[in-house]
Homo-oligomer: A and B are copies of this chain.
Amino acid sequence: MQGAHQQETRSEDLADLFDKVRSYTETLCEPLKTEDFIPQPIVDVSPPKWNIAHTTWFFEEMILKKFVPNYQEHNPAFGFLFNSYYNTIGERTARDQRGSITRPTVEEVFAYRRAIDERMNEFLQGAIPAEAIDMVILGLNHEQQHQELLLTDLKYTFSQNPLFPTYKEDFARVGMMESWPAEFVEMDEGIYGIGHSGEGFCFDNELARHKVYLQEYSICNRLVTNGAFVDFIEDGGYTRHELWHAEGWDWVNTNTIRSPLYWHDRDGERMHYTLGGLRPLPLGAPVCHVSFYEAFAFAEWKGMRLPTEFEWEAASDKFDWGLRWEWTNSAYLPYPGFLKPIGAVGEYNGKFMINQMVLRGASAATPPGHSRQTYRNFFHPHLRWQFSGLRLVK
């Protein structure tokens, strides 16, 4: 899965890293009640219980079962329950029925988690084969992806509740943008290197590093704000077909979309639901929870466009990023030289390379240190439960 071998990672560093990443998941779960671990309101959202069991199962399945001699499975049924989509490994619970599984209980799942952590810690004390090191690092990056999903999924579930529950009071402040002036950075025509290189971890979809020819372009140093999106709405943005893709226009009309997700009107005041509760909409903050269709229509309305993922990556030294996942106008496709790994981890990325658009950067829900300039996230163009925003190019 990783591009570069990690052979110099020392055992004790790895054990530390393991502990740090795994603990962070538990920290994220602290404000939750038992009930919050169960629901799956839409198929895209996973229950937190499934999430914490699945990330644990990954280490049991990919490390302990493979590298620990005579390893006894914690519970043979858990593979079926907590596998996500790895057809190679076998049968699994229907993806849309995860919210119906009440047993094992949340307590039992945390016990499973602790048991696997213990076995992993033992394992990480010993001499570890290079292949296992790679897989542990992959497992930790996988866990970080699920940390992000834990928050975005929880926000969606909570948002269905008319009481608008609060996850953490101060979460509303996360993702605010400093009020630096918007400027367009000019980029020259020419050949640029794209994709991951060097020794750190990366996912297979960031490889191989290759050359891309770009035309001249200018990219904005800041994200589009809520305030600008309000202008778009007030100028009839959601009712002007010429700004939209044909499929976007169908989506808008079929679902009666009139604003980004989680926006509410309370007696004429614009509010938005946050993990800190229902709050007045901060006009200066970057807009969030927009679909690709909305991002594209906004850019059309501005007479500009979204960057390609290559333009984004080539210019990413020149601006700050990390508050919102940023939609690009690139479809999620393999890089030249992309090689699908053998076995179950080969299902990690490649099989999703159709009908999805690439997002670049990171968001307020991304664990610290998880993303990088070459990181490629991807979603279907109508989805918007992620902390997704946009940046303009002209």
Contacts and interface: CB of A to CB of B under 8 A. Distances in A.
Interface stretch (A54-62, A144-152, A209-217, A384-392): A209-217
A85 interface: yes
Interface residues of A, number: 66
A162 B77 contact: yes
A188 interface: no
A348 to B, nearest CB: 11
Contacts of A160: 97, 100-101
Given A106-B35, A334-B329, A246 B101 contact: no
A117 interface: no
Contacts of A330: 333
A33 interface: yes
Nearest to A347: B242
Contact of A212 (B97, B102, B213, B337): B213
A157 interface: yes
Contact of A39 (B99, B162, B244): B99
A276 interface: no
A378 to B, nearest CB: 12
A241 interface: yes
Interface in A17-35: 33-35
A36 interface: yes
Contacts of A354: 245, 247-248, 292-293, 296, 357, 381
Contact of A35 (B34, B213, B242): B34
A165 interface: yes
A88 B241 CA distance: 8
B245 A102 contact: no
A40 to B, nearest CB: 8
A351 B215 CA distance: 23
B157 A100 contact: yes
Interface string A77-92: 1001100010110000
A103 B245 contact: no
A288 B176 CA distance: 53
Interface of A: 33-39, 41, 49, 77, 80-81, 85, 87-88, 93, 97, 99-106, 157-158, 160-163, 165, 191, 210-215, 241-242, 244-249, 292-293, 296, 329-331, 333-334, 336-337, 346-347, 351-355, 357, 381
